[in-house]
Structure 1
Amino acid sequence: MRRLLTLIVALVALTGLPALAATPAKPQSPGKTATAVFAGGCFWCMEHDMQGVPGVIKVESGYTGGHVNKPTYRDVTSEKSGHYEAVRVTYDPAKLDYGFLLHRYWKLVDPTDDDGQFCDRGSSYRTAVFVSSASQRGAAEKSRAEAAKRLKIGKMVTPVLDLKTFWPAEDYHRDYAKRNALRYQAYRTGCGRDLRLKQVWGG
């Protein structure tokens, strides 16, 4: 083995090639990211279901669409702050298209319900696509029209709205499904989310 190493070093010296260890790797510059904001009822479920999409970097639970600064969970669920429970999805646009995120979103919600989602009732649990640019609005409106044609029951009522400030939720809400797997699954099953989604979109 020592002879082999000696021979390699000698060949490198003769050819004038730099030794591999002599040139440290340059750090990769971070790529550009983009964000999308969706309201789909319980943000625990939305966060959980969006995290598995390839190209998604981070999913944050939070509140948007209301008129109270720095709202708390209590403010939002009181149905007086005007906020929706929502998620902010940070993704790599080189790997994931906004249109695909929209396609994914529709399959995670019941867009025929204008008074909440599944067992969660009230305005804070309504659905909405929040857009931050003209291009996002165009893509969202087109996707909404296409999704409306695929519904098995009901009528599309989910709006496309201009994004206001997104307020991150309290720490105990973040990654809830990962940190409280049994409670989360019991909630999701008891709420009838997946059963209703099959009725709305088909098997």
Structure 2
Amino acid sequence: MEKNEQLATFAGGCFWCMVKPFDEQPGIIKVVSGYTGGTVENPTYQQVCSDTTGHFEAVQITYNPEVFPYEKLLDLFWQQIDPTDPGGQFYDRGQSYQTAIFYHDVTQKRLAEESKHRLQESGRFNKPIVTPVLPAKTFYPAEEYHQHYYKKNRAHYESYHVGSGRTGFIQKHWRGEHE
């Protein structure tokens, strides 16, 4: 990594839906879909989806904090998920689809916890914010066919984003504040 690059790692349910919001923002160098938080080395998609590895589907973002600060990444992350759902995200259920913020240093941890607290206090949601703030673990890139799925399979991605309930949830709770 270059001197002015940092990593951010977020689990927001299906990783297909977590790439596009970050991918083309200024200061975002790359977004990789993958698996983190579990105990199996180099897990496959099938293993992770079996909910036996402890991994989350996640995205790892390489970014320039001078152009796109971590606080802005956190704001964008919250606008992509239902932070009150402990059982997964939208249509996708199970541990591998749960949300989490994986911090890479004490500053990220502090900023993530402050951001979570502000969201809870905002009253935007009438249930507790359950997304945990966890230490980053080894990140394993997902299989190539999962990378930038929204570009490779645009029609399927769009119908999935709507059909899963994610699009409607974002529109209801964020009214034009997202991408």
**Do both share a fold (TM > 0.5)?**
yes
Runs of 5+ consecutive residues of structure 2 not aligned to the other structure: none
Runs of 5+ consecutive residues of structure 1 not aligned to the other structure: 1-29
State the structure with bigger RCO (CA 8 A, min sep 6), 1 or 2: 2
Residue identity matched to 2:78? W
Structure 1 residue 32 displacement after superposition? 2.0
Counterpart position of 1:118: 90
Counterpart position of 1:95: 67
Query: Are 1:128 and 2:100 matched, yes or no?
Result: yes
Residue identity matched to 1:176? Y
Counterpart position of 1:197: 170
Give the superposed CA RMSD.
1.3
Between structure 1 and structure 2, the one with the greater Rg is: 1
Counterpart position of 2:28: 56
Rate the CA distance shift 1:201–1:154 in 2: closer, same or farther, 3 A: farther
Structure 1 residue 31 displacement after superposition? 5.4
Structure 1 residue 199 displacement after superposition? 3.7
Q: Is the 8 A contact 2:22 2:31 kept in 1?
A: yes
Residue identity matched to 2:101? V
SS at match of 2:79: helix
Counterpart position of 1:27: none
TM-score norm. by structure 2 comes to 0.93
Over residues 54-99 of structure 1, what are the superposed CA-to-partner deviations in whole Å (9 max), with x where a residue is unaligned?
A: 2111100000000000000001000000000000011112211111
Richer in helix (by share):
1
Counterpart position of 1:158: 131
TM-score norm. by structure 1 comes to 0.82
Question: Paired residue for 2:76, among 94, 104, 110?
Answer: 104
SS at match of 1:108: coil
Over residues 4-47 of structure 1, what are the superposed CA-to-partner deviations in whole Å (9 max), with x where a residue is unaligned?
A: xxxxxxxxxxxxxxxxxxxxxxxxxx652111000000101101
Of residues 193-202 and 93-102 in structure 1, the stretch that sits farther from structure 2 once superposed is 193-202
Structure 1 residue 202 displacement after superposition? 5.2
The count of aligned residue pairs is 174
